[in-house]
Structure formats: C-alpha cells, structure tokens
C-alpha cells in the first residue's frame, strides 16, 4: 500500500517538475530559515547546561529595599552571603563561591594593562568544571598571591601558555602585590553567563579599608553560586531563606530608624544557573520574536504547498475519480495526498539543511557564536521531523480534503475539468496572507532601521563625534596629577578642553535623588539627576550658559562639602549649584532661566544641604537617546572622578595618536585606554541594528518564498486558462490585454495585502516607537509602507509577468486545439 | 473579398512533415455562403484557421480585400481579424466562468466600445438568437443547442462581415442542428459572408457553393443554382 503511494508520489514529483521544484525549493528556503532561527533559539535556551552539575548549581539572589531609591540587588549579593549559606545549610549545600569584578592595573614586565579581573573563592574549581591546561586551579585559588590566567590572556602577556611560576604585579585598592601564575585554563564556551579572563582568590584582608565590600548586608558586590549536595531538593533551601535572614541579618545602623526587622529590608531567593541567561532583559523577548518569525516563514512556505496542490487538483481530478470508482475510501485518499506532501517536505528538509550548512559561517559570524546543526542531538532531530510533519500536514490537508471529496460521476461524465472556484478564492486568501506577512516584515525592518539611524545619529547637544574619554585618571598614582595632566593635554595640538567626569556619557548611567524647593509650602519632593562636574564641563560638552555664571575654583561656596566634612561636620551645609532648563520647569522656579538664579534647593537628608542656584545650563542629552532628558543639578566636585573627557577637533585617529604619545611619555604605571563617545552611542543601538538586520533577511526570505508560490500559482492558472486566453485572442484581445488580465488577477491579492499590511504595521510600529523618547515622526512610516507595498507589487509583477507574456504570445489556434 | 493563390500549409513535427494544405486556390465573394466538406484530416480546420487569420500559410498568397496578408505578423492579423471575422466552433468554446451575456460581450470587449453601447448590442443580439431569457445563466446550465446559439450571437455581435464556422452542428442533434443552420441562413440573407465546415450533406445544402477537400487539395466545387 505505502509502496504504491510512494511510487505515485515520486512519479508525481517527476512528472510535475515545475510544481515539484517550486514546492521543494520554496519549502527548503522556508525550512532553512526556520532551522537557522531554531539553532539560535536553541542556543539561547540552553545556556549553562553543559556543566556536569548544571542541575545542582544555583545563584543566590538578594533584593534590598532602600529608602529613597528603588529595590536593588537582583543577581548580586553581599559578600557575607556565601559563608552564611554554608553555615546555615551544612546538610544541603556542598560548596559555594563568589565572584567579584575589579579593573586593576596589571604590570607584566615593563608593560601595563587595565584588565577585568575576577576575585573568587577556591570552591569555583569544584563547582564549575573548568578545563585546566597547566597547573592546579584549586590550589591557585587557595593561595592569596597566585593567579589563574585564561589561555588567551597568557598568550597576550607572555606569548605562550608555559607560564607557570611567572610573576606579575596587580595594583588595586591602594596597594600593589606580586602574583605568581599558578594555573592556565581553557576559555569557557560562549553559552554561559560566567566568563573570566583571570581569577585570583578573594582575600578579604586586602579590603580592610573598604568594609562595605564583603562585610555589609546592604551592599551587594558579589555574585554567589552554590552547589547542592546529591539528592537535595532546592525547596529545602528556598523554604528557609526567610528564617536565614531572621537568624543572621541585622538592620544596618544607618537604617535603624527605617526598618525594625531585617526581613523588611532584605530577602533572598535562588535561581538555577540554567535559568539565569533567560532572565536577562530582552532575551526571552527576542526568543518570542524570532520564534514567531520562524513560524510565519514556515506558514508562508506551507501555503505554497496548499495553493499549488489546489491549482493542480484539476489535473488530478480524473485520477481521484478512477481511484474512487475502483473502491478507494476517502480516508485512503487523504492519507495518500498527505503522504505525498510529507515526502515533498522531507526532500525539502534535506535541501534546506544543505542551505543552512552553506549559510552557517556567515550566520555565526553575524551572531558571534559557533552554532552547528546537532545531527546527533535527539532534540534537533525531533524538531526537524516535526517541521517536516507540520509542513506536510499544514500544506497538504486542505487540498487532500478537497480532492478526496470530488464526486467521481461528475468528473467522469462530462468532459469538463472541475473548476474549483471555492478553492480559487481560498487560494487568494492564502496569497493575501503571505503578502501581508512579507510586506509587514519589510515595513518593520525598515522602520527599525530608520529609528536606529535617527536615534544613533541625532544631535545630542554636545557634538558627540569630537569627544574622547580617557580611562585610568582616577588611579591612586594619577589623582594628585589630575590638574597637571589636564593643563598639559590642553596645550597639545587639536585638543580644545578636558573635564573630569564620574560617569560615562551615552550609557544611560545616572545618579538620581530627591530635593525640595525652599519656600514650597507643600514640600513637594522632586526627583532629579545629580552630576558632579568641574569648571571645564561647559566647554567640553558644548553646554550653553543661559543665565548666571559657571563655577569658580576660587569660591569656596562653589564646592560641595567633601566626604570628610560630610562625615565629621553636623551641618547644615551651604553651597552653590547650577541647574539645567528642564529643572527650572520641573521645580517651578520661573519662566525664564534668569528667574531661577538665587533660588534655594534643599536636600532632605539627615544632614541638611542648602544649595543656591547660580547658573542655568542648556539641556544636553548626556545619557542616551533611548531615554528622555532629565532635570539635572550640577555641583562642583571632582574628587573620585575616574575619567577625563577630552574635546578635540580634527580626525579622531590623529588625536588618538597625539594622546597616546603624550600618555606613554608621561604616564608609565597606568595603561592608555580610551573610548570615543561616538562609538559608545553606536554601541547603544546594537540590539536594534541586529534586530532590523534579522528582520530584513527574514522579510527577504518571506518575499522570495511568497513570490515562488505566486509564480507557481500563476503558471498553473495560466495553464488552466489557456483555452479562455486563446478565445479572448480570437475575439480580438492583443498581447498586452492578456498580460494585463493575468497580472491583474494576481495584483489584486497583493494590493489588498499591501493595504492590510500597511495598517497593521503602522499600528505595530507606532506602538514600538512609543518606547523611544526620541523617535522618527510617525508620518515617516507612511512612505515606508508605500515603498514596501510597491516593492512587493513589483516583485509580484516581475514574477508573474514573464510567464503571462509567454502565455499571451502563444498562438490562439494552439489553445483552441487542446480538447 | 477573399482570394487564396496556390496556398500551402505544412506542419513540421519530429522530422515528419505533414502537408495539411497544398496548392489551394479559392476565391470567395462578399455575401457568399460557402460549405467546406471532406473526410477527417483532409485539412478543413487548417484552411478555416488560415482564412480566419489564426494561422499563417507556409506558402502562397492570401489576399484579403486585395491586400496580401500571408506574411503579416500576429499583431497585425489580430487587428484585421477583430474588425472582420467572427468564429463558431464545434465545441462552442464558451468560458465557463462567464454568464451568457458576458460570453457574448467578450467579443466587444477589445473593440473600444463604451459599456452602455456594448450592453445594448448584447441585448439586441440575444433577442435575435432567442437566448435573452437565459442572459444570466452560466454555460453549463444550458443545452448544447442553446450554447451554440450563444456562440453564434458572440460571432455576430460585432457586426462582423464574415463568419467562419467549424462544424457548428457537429455536437448537436438534428433538431438543434437545424436551428443553427436556419440562423446562419438568416445571417447570410442579411449580407454576412459565411464559410462553414460540415460533414452533413443536408447542412451543406444551405450553402450556395460547396468546396470538397481531399488530402489538402481542392477536389471539386459545386455551385447550387439559385
Ligand atoms: N498543429 C498541428 N501539428 C501537426 N499536424 C497538424 C496540426 N494541425 C493539423 N495537423 C495535421 O494536418 C492535417 C489536417 O488537419 P485538420 O485541418 O485538423 O483536418 P480536418 O479539420 O479536416 O479534420 C491532419 O493530418 C492533422 O494531423
Ligand atoms: Mg477539423
């Protein structure tokens, strides 16, 4: 039986070459696109599952409520968490480890590097099976003055990995120590949330002067992982996390008046390591979006199946009738037709897999991953077979039902072919659907691209293309030299000005707090952003002074109280501040900038600070174009600034060389590290860039597959209509009449789809744009809709036009002879 | 009006050359009623196709209103054809998706005639062939005789001077065949030139002149006395 079906299926494939080629290739492209997206999604959902003890490793999470600030903590925990967990759960937890990141200066011979370095505990070697190439990791992490390097870092520093016993110097926290290389390990794969270039042991004695680092419950500075003992369920831990707080944590002194119980300010939870990546912002969102796109492309490819089978059904009506006459049941016929589509889908899968193999190198390059088809991975195999079944059944079920329902008498009696006119409109509906999806994808891709371009290139108010930020100026050895360095830099060619900053521009970082306005009877608390600046901030960031004056180094009141004063002096304090235009509005200080001068703002802290407005700055977009501008308060305070923002003119490359030469000549103990603000801004939109690129590719594939279907459908319809076309020609229709007739037949669904897709995408994209404070004007979407519709229509015309022309040119006699 | 000089048509198929027509000389005057007879495969349809400008001769001359059109392009022929010639086929060749009136209207569709005028002409011609009461019906709801009446209406709705009919009664029973012949006769009496292929001697009797074809050549011509 099945052999018979298979034979017929194969014969049908060979006999209907056009039909087979379109089905197989269209579906192969669709399945290939699905597979590529599946590989990505599969990778995204399988982070951190390769560890031997993956199911036993958990991350401890903490959530800390703080007065005057939202809850914080999440993936980070206090340094005390590890020991507390180990003591509290001796029966349940086998081992636990912490990670804490520092950016120390590492000196290797006469070279210096600024390198991210992880401080950790020796249990790391037990919990994570890290492949050690040289030395002993556990021993290295048990020793206070040993370091483990990744293979890549060892090669960067020494040129090879035979480096055990080499000594390098690490400068951190006001102290310098020599470390001996004790282990070299293989870099971890990309699909884990933990990654580190170099590891040293957490030596709490090194942090005696920073007690908050590892000894304060309210200060989450480390990531804590723990591993369960065999046969322990995580619920044994989770159920006792509240009592853990009650038994071990007390309210910090400075919050004593806010909280009476420790459980009010801190709570713990646990997260399996394999779930961490999925909890990252945007990850599950991306998975949903890419999954939906994969499904849509698959459905578009399946529709080709349905439509071509319907078109072809006229040819097969006779076969069906004969089979019925000799006794085939409807069920048997359905099975036969579905079997055929499944066979086609299977062949398409093989072609699709070949296409994926061809596309993988570029795809991996784009994603920065090493994805492969897991031919031996049962899950991958199941997914591929499921795709085949899905495509076969979804593509074949409707024609199977139609064909099997033909009444044999009707077909065999008359000479006429059945014209399934209900099937024809159904086909049209499906074509409309295909093009709605394709056109919508094009529109979304273009709108996302336009928004990215708009946001990434918009004028931030400070000429982002000509600022470079130098790192390392907050290092102990450079702090005393800060003013000299600035003055020397300003004398260099192409350098205009330089200002010390605490936070990077264009990264979204900001420090906010609440203030009240003196004299405000309601005592309204306003949330504003604070920014510590120096006198050169204005020139460097091209800020306009709208009223009043800028800070003066010589005026004592222009400076904020120092940390020392703050701690020892009971207050109240007085100082001068500058605000931006938005702050005037938000705080209600007047209509014009000058109105704000002399107004006094109060910081409602335990120690009062009265700040008098002496100047008003224009608004600039210091953060990112992803966020709206904020009301800002500027105070003069350079203590603790870690970066120097340098305004230059001319080419960045030339300036980089000038700065680097200066640095290497004058500063030997801190490496030269710089960041161009323009690069920062571009980097902010990498997510959108990637998304719009993926959408562009997906929409091209969708359009391609839909057009293949249209081509097939047009060929079949033209064939079905040959006689009619011949007759029309006999009646006087010329070639262009016929071409118009055929092209119009398929333009209708594409035009309807254009309208529907434009409406749909307009609302979808208007909603998406809503999240951006600086967005392209909504009307911009309209020409994009037009262009996308036009593009799809042209593609459709191109697809069917050639065939229509051929058909239209055929001599009418031929058409009329075919009886 | 029509003059064929030494006209031939050969078909080239898989190295075999079939001469469907060879050395045909025929002259047909305006207003004539001509029947073409002959055994199956002797070239009647080929001749009619060439007369109807659906096909080009391989050799010889085709003079239409003193114009040699034997080497005209398809597009040029189409233009002359749609002004002058109407067709009736053995198998009716109605379009299944179009109603009776739409099928008739098809013959006017490509003639740049305003819609209202088209409708008027269609109604008139439907009255003439007695199919007006079936105007909205689809072809498969009609009997063969009715379908052929629609086809006749379609052939004459554009006031074509010549009607070419290829076995118009071949698929009809004798009663309906008779009806169609009466219609053709009436048309001829109004001045339409009719050239008809038929197997029936009785139906050939409606024509003034009968051309007998055999193996691609004209064997005899009989002219019936008026
Ligand atoms: N398109 C064609 N290709 C090849 N041979 C053809 C073609 N059309 C007709 N013939 C051949 O030409 C001859 C005349 O055909 P036709 O004019 O249809 O005959 P009739 O209409 O008298 O039965 C036949 O032998 C037929 O096989
Ligand atoms: Mg014939």
Q: Which of B7, B46, B198 to mutate to test the pocket of ligand 1 (most atoms within 8 A of CB)?
A: B46
Q: What is d(CA B32, CA A450) in angstroms, rounded to the nearest whole number?
A: 74
**Three-state secondary structure call for residue B112:** coil
The residue ranking higher by pLDDT, A723 or A438, is: A438
Q: What is d(CA B190, CA A295) in angstroms, rounded to the nearest whole number?
A: 67
Q: What are phi and psi of A634, to 5 degrees?
A: -110, 135
The residue ranking higher by pLDDT, A220 or A819, is: A220
Say what the pLDDT of residue B171 is.
Answer: 84
Question: Has residue B117 got a pLDDT over 90?
Answer: yes
Q: What is d(CA A161, CA A364) in angstroms, rounded to the nearest whole number?
A: 28
CB-CB neighbors (< 8 A) of A724 in chain B: 95, 97
Q: Please give the helix or strand (H or E) that residue B78 lies within, else none.
A: helix B74-84
**Three-state secondary structure call for residue A447:** helix
Q: Which of B43, B52, B196, B199 to mutate to test the pocket of ligand 1 (most atoms within 8 A of CB)?
A: B43
- Residue B141's pLDDT band (cuts 50, 70, 90): confident
Ligand 2 midpoint to CA B37 (Å): 10
In B191-204, which positions are buried (b, 16+ CB within 10 angstroms) versus exposed (e)? ebbbbbbbebeebb
Q: Which atom of ligand 1 is nearest to the CA of B48?
A: 17
Per the rule left: phi > 0, alpha: psi between -120 and 50, beta: everything else, A229 is: beta
User: Across the interface, do A732 and B140 touch by the CB < 8 Å criterion?
Assistant: no
Give Dmax (Cα) for chain A. 108
Decide: B184 and B166 in contact? Cβ < 8 Å: no
Q: Is the N-terminal amide bond of A572 cis, ω within 30° of 0?
A: yes
Best mean pLDDT range from A67-71, A607-611, A660-664: A660-664
Question: Has residue A502 got a pLDDT over 70?
Answer: yes
User: Across the interface, do B107 and A723 touch by the CB < 8 Å criterion?
Assistant: no
Say what the pLDDT of residue A413 is.
Answer: 47
List the single residue in B87, B96, B111 with the smallest CB-CB distance to A730.
B87
Ligand 2 midpoint to CA B215 (Å): 13
Q: What is d(CA A656, CA A274) in angstroms, rounded to the nearest whole number?
A: 42
Determine the residue of chain B that is closest to A810 in CA distance.
B74
CB-CB neighbors (< 8 A) of B154 in chain A: 731
Query: Which ligand sits closest to the CA of B44?
Result: 1
Say what the pLDDT of residue A410 is.
Answer: 60
Which tens digits make up the pLDDT trace of A343-400?
A: 889 999 999 999 999 999 999 998 888 899 989 989 999 999 999 999 988 888 888 8
Q: Which residue has 């906010």 as its token pair?
A: A512
Q: What is d(CA A239, CA A248) in angstroms, rounded to the nearest whole number?
A: 16
Q: Is residue B136 packed enough to be buried (19+ CB in 10 Å), middle (13-18) or exposed (0-12)?
A: exposed
Which of B78, B91, B151 is the best residue to mutate to test the A interface, defined by the most A CB atoms within 10 Å of its own CB? B78
Q: What are phi and psi of A134, to 5 degrees?
A: -140, 145
Nearest residue (CA) to ligand 1, atom 7: B11
Which of B44, B106, B122 is the best residue to mutate to test the A interface, defined by the most A CB atoms within 10 Å of its own CB? B106
Q: What are phi and psi of A577, to 5 degrees?
A: -135, 165
Chain A residues near any Cβ of chain B (below 8 Å): 416, 419, 421, 723-724, 727-735, 737, 809, 811-813, 816, 819
Nearest residue (CA) to ligand 1, atom 5: B11
List the single residue in B54, B55, B96 with the smallest CB-CB distance to A419.
B96
Taking alpha carbons only, the member of A100, A180, A107 closest to residue A140 is A180
Q: What is d(CA B201, CA B35) in angstroms, rounded to the nearest whole number?
A: 9
Decide: A583 and A611 in contact? Cβ < 8 Å: no
Say what the pLDDT of residue A508 is.
Answer: 64
Q: Which of B37, B41, B50, B55 to mutate to test the pocket of ligand 1 (most atoms within 8 A of CB)?
A: B41
What distances in angstroms separate CA A274 from CA A51, A453, A817, B127, one per listed residue?
A: 9, 35, 70, 83
Which of B48, B72, B93, B94 is the best residue to mutate to test the A interface, defined by the most A CB atoms within 10 Å of its own CB? B93
Query: B20: Cβ below 6 Å to ligand 1?
Result: yes
Q: What are phi and psi of A553, to 5 degrees?
A: -60, -25
- Residue B195's pLDDT band (cuts 50, 70, 90): very high
Which tens digits make up the pLDDT trace of B22-43?
A: 999 999 999 999 999 999 989 9
Question: Has residue A246 got a pLDDT over 70?
Answer: yes
Decide: A501 and A538 in contact? Cβ < 8 Å: no
Query: B11: Cβ below 6 Å to ligand 1?
Result: yes
CB-CB neighbours of B219 under 10 Å: 12
Which tens digits make up the pLDDT trace of A94-133?
A: 999 999 998 888 999 888 888 889 999 999 999 999 999 9
Determine the residue of chain A that is closest to B82 in CA distance.
A732
Decide: A576 and A628 in contact? Cβ < 8 Å: no
What's the whole-number mean pLDDT along residues A791-816? 82
What's the whole-number mean pLDDT along residues A714-737? 81
Distance of CA A399 to the CA centre of its chain: 41
Q: What are phi and psi of A573, to 5 degrees?
A: -105, 160
Q: Give chain B's radius of gyration (CA, Å).
A: 17
Q: Please give the helix or strand (H or E) that residue A65 lies within, else none.
A: strand A57-66
- Nearest-CA distance A812 → chain B (Å): 7
Q: What is d(CA A453, CA A448) in angstroms, rounded to the nearest whole number?
A: 9
CB-CB neighbors (< 8 A) of B171 in chain A: none
Taking alpha carbons only, the member of A721, A744, A713 closest to residue B95 is A721
Nearest residue (CA) to ligand 1, atom 6: B11
Q: Tokens representing A518? A: 């003196």
Which tens digits make up the pLDDT trace of A138-175?
A: 999 999 999 999 999 999 999 999 999 999 999 877 78
User: Across the interface, do B109 and A730 touch by the CB < 8 Å criterion?
Assistant: no
Q: What are phi and psi of A207, to 5 degrees?
A: -115, 25
Q: Give chain A's radius of gyration (CA, Å).
A: 35
Query: B214: Cβ below 6 Å to ligand 1?
Result: no
User: Across the interface, do B81 and A819 touch by the CB < 8 Å criterion?
Assistant: no
User: Across the interface, do A811 and B55 touch by the CB < 8 Å criterion?
Assistant: yes
Which residues are bridge partners to A529 per DSSP? A512, A632
* Angle A281-A283-A285 from CA coordinates, rounded to 5°: 95
- Nearest-CA distance B18 → chain A (Å): 17
What distances in angstroms separate CA B67 from CA A352, B9, B28, B72, B192, one per listed residue?
A: 61, 19, 14, 10, 20
User: Across the interface, do A737 and B110 touch by the CB < 8 Å criterion?
Assistant: yes
Decide: B165 and B91 in contact? Cβ < 8 Å: no
Nearby residues of A660 by Cβ (< 8 Å), 6 or more positions away? A672, A674
Ligand 2 midpoint to CA B149 (Å): 20
Which tens digits make up the pLDDT trace of A17-68?
A: 777 888 888 899 999 999 999 999 999 999 999 999 999 999 999 998 876 6
A93-102 vs A117-120, strand pairing mode: antiparallel
Q: Tokens representing B101? A: 């009136």
Chain B residues near any Cβ of chain A (below 8 Å): 49, 52, 54-55, 74-75, 78-79, 81-82, 87, 89, 91, 93, 95-97, 106-107, 109-111, 140, 154
Ligand 1 midpoint to CA B46 (Å): 6
Query: Which ligand sits closest to the CA of B38?
Result: 1
Q: Which atom of ligand 1 is nearest to the CA of B12?
A: 4
User: Across the interface, do B49 and A813 touch by the CB < 8 Å criterion?
Assistant: yes
pTM: 0.76
**Three-state secondary structure call for residue B222:** strand
Rounded to two decimals, the ipTM of the complex is: 0.80
Q: What is d(CA A700, CA A527) in angstroms, rounded to the nearest whole number?
A: 47
Which tens digits make up the pLDDT trace of B48-75?
A: 989 988 888 999 999 999 999 988 887 7
Residues A407-411: contacts with CB under 8 Å, at least 24 apart = A408/A320, A408/A321, A408/A322, A408/A324, A408/A325, A411/A317, A411/A318, A411/A320, A411/A321
Question: Has residue A423 got a pLDDT over 60?
Answer: no
User: Across the interface, do A731 and B75 touch by the CB < 8 Å criterion?
Assistant: no
| Ion ligand 2: residues, CB < 5 A | B 45
User: Across the interface, do B110 and A816 touch by the CB < 8 Å criterion?
Assistant: no
Nearest residue (CA) to ligand 1, atom 24: B41
Q: What is d(CA A296, CA A305) in angstroms, rounded to the nearest whole number?
A: 15
CB-CB neighbors (< 8 A) of B165 in chain A: none
User: Across the interface, do B96 and A737 touch by the CB < 8 Å criterion?
Assistant: no
Say what the pLDDT of residue A552 is.
Answer: 85
Q: What is d(CA B212, CA B193) in angstroms, rounded to the nearest whole number?
A: 19
Ligand 2 midpoint to CA B40 (Å): 7
């Amino acid at each position: 039986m099945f052999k018979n079906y298979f034979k017929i299926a194969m014969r049908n494939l060979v006999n209907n070459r056009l039909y087979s080629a379109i089905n197989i290739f269209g579906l192969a492209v669709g399945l290939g696109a699905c597979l590529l997206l599946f590989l990505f999604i599969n990778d995204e959902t399988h982070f951190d599952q390769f560890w031997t003890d993956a199911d036993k490793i958990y991350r401890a999470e903490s959530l800390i409520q703080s007065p005057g600030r939202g809850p914080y903590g999440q993936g980070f925990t206090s340094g005390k968490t590890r020991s507390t967990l180990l003591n509290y759960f001796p029966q349940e937890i086998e081992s636990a480890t912490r990670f804490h990141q520092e950016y120390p200066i590492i000196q290797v011979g006469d070279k210096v590097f600024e390198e991210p370095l992880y401080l950790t505990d020796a249990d790391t070697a037990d919990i994570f099976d890290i492949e050690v190439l040289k030395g002993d990791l556990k021993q290295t992490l048990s020793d206070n003055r040993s370091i483990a390097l990744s293979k890549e870092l060892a090669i960067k520093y020494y040129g090879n990995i035979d480096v055990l016993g080499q000594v390098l110097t690490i400068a951190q926290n006001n102290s310098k120590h020599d470390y001996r290389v004790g282990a070299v390990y293989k870099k971890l794969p990309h699909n884990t949330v933990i990654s580190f270039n170099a590891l040293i042991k957490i030596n709490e004695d090194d942090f005696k002067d920073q007690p908050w680092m590892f000894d304060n419950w309210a200060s989450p500075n480390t990531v804590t992982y723990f591993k369960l003992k065999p046969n322990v369920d995580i619920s044994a831990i989770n159920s006792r996390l509240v009592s853990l707080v009650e038994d071990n944590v007390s309210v910090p002194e400075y919050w004593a008046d806010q909280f009476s119980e420790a459980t009010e300010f801190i709570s713990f939870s646990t997260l399996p390591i394999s779930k961490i990546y999925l909890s990252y912002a945007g990850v599950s969102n991306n998975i949903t979006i890419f999954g939906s796109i994969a499904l849509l492309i698959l459905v578009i490819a399946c529709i080709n199946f349905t439509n071509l089978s319907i078109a072809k059904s006229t040819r097969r009506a006779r076969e069906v009738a004969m089979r019925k006459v000799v006794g085939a049941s409807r069920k048997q016929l359905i099975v036969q037709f579905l079997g055929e589509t499944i066979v086609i889908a299977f062949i398409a899968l093989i072609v699709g897999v070949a296409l994926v193999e061809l596309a993988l190198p570029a795809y991996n390059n784009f994603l920065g991953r090493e994805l492969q088809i897991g031919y031996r991975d049962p899950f991958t195999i199941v997914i591929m077979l499921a795709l085949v079944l899905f495509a076969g059944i979804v593509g074949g079920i409707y024609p199977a039902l139609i064909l099997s329902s033909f009444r044999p008498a009707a077909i065999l009696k008359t000479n006429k072919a059945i014209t399934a006119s209900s099937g024809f409109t159904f086909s049209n509906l499906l074509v409309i659907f295909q093009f709605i999806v394709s056109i919508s994808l094009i529109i979304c891709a273009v709108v996302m691209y336009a928004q990215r371009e708009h946001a990434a290139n918009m004028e931030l108010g400070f000429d982002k293309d000509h600022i470079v930020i130098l790192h390392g100026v907050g290092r102990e050895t450079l702090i005393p030299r800060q003013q000299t360095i600035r003055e020397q830099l300003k004398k260099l060619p192409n350098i205009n000005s330089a200002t010390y900053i605490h936070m990077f521009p264009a990264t979204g970082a900001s420090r906010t707090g609440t203030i009240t306005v003196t004299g405000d009877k309601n005592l309204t608390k306003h949330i504003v952003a604070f920014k510590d600046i120096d006198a050169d901030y204005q020139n460097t960031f091209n800020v306009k002074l709208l009223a009043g004056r800028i800070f003066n180094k010589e005026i004592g009141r222009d400076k904020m109280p120092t940390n020392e004063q703050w701690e020892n002096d009971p207050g109240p304090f007085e100082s001068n501040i500058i605000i931006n235009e938005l702050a005037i509005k938000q705080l209600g200080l007047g209509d014009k900038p000058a109105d704000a001068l002399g107004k006094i703002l109060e910081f409602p802290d335990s120690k009062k600070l009265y700040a008098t407005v002496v100047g008003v700055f224009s608004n600039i977009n210091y953060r990112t174009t992803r966020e709206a501008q904020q009301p800002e308060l500027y105070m003069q305070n350079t203590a603790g600034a870690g970066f120097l923002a340098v305004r230059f003119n001319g080419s960045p490359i030339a300036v980089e060389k000038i700065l680097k030469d200066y640095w290497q000549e004058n500063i030997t103990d801190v490496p030269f590290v710089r960041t161009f603000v323009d690069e920062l801004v571009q980097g902010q939109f990498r997510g959108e860039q990637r998304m719009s690129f993926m959408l562009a590719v997906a929409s091209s594939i969708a359009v391609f597959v839909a057009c293949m279907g249209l081509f097939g459908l047009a060929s079949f319809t033209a064939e079905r209509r040959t006689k009619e076309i011949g007759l029309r020609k006999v009646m006087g229709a010329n070639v262009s009449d016929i071409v118009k007739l055929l092209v119009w037949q398929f333009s209708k669904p594409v035009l309807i789809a254009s309208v529907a897709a434009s409406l749909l995408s307009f609302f979808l994209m208007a909603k998406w744009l809503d999240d951006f404070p600086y967005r392209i004007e909504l009307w911009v979407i309209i020409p994009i809709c037009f262009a996308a519709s036009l593009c799809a229509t042209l593609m459709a015309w191109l697809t069917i036009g050639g065939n229509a022309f051929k058909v239209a040119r055929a001599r009418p006699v031929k058409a009329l002879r075919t009886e | 009006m029509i003059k064929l000089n030494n006209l031939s048509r050969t078909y080239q198929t898989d190295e075999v050359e079939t001469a469907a027509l060879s050395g045909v000389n025929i002259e047909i005057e305006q207003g004539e009623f001509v029947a073409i007879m002959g055994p199956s495969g002797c070239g009647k349809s080929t001749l009619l196709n060439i007369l109807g400008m659906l096909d080009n001769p391989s050799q010889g001359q085709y003079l239409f209103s003193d114009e040699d059109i034997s080497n005209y392009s398809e597009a040029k022929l189409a233009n002359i054809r749609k002004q002058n010639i109407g067709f009736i086929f053995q198998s009716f060749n109605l379009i299944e998706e179009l109603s009776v009136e739409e099928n008739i209207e098809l013959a006017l569709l490509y003639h740049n005639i305003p819609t209202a005028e088209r409708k008027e002409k269609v109604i008139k011609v439907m009255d003439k062939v007695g199919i007006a009461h079936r105007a909205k019906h689809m072809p498969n709801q009609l009997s063969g005789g009715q379908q052929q009446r629609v086809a006749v209406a379609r052939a004459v709705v554009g006031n074509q001077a010549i009607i070419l009919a290829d076995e118009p009664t071949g698929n009809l029973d004798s009663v309906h065949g008779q009806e169609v012949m009466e219609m053709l006769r009436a048309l001829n009496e109004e001045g339409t030139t009719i050239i008809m292929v038929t197997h029936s001697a009785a139906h050939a009797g409606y024509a003034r002149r009968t051309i007998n074809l055999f193996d691609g050549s004209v064997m005899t011509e009989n002219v019936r006395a008026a």
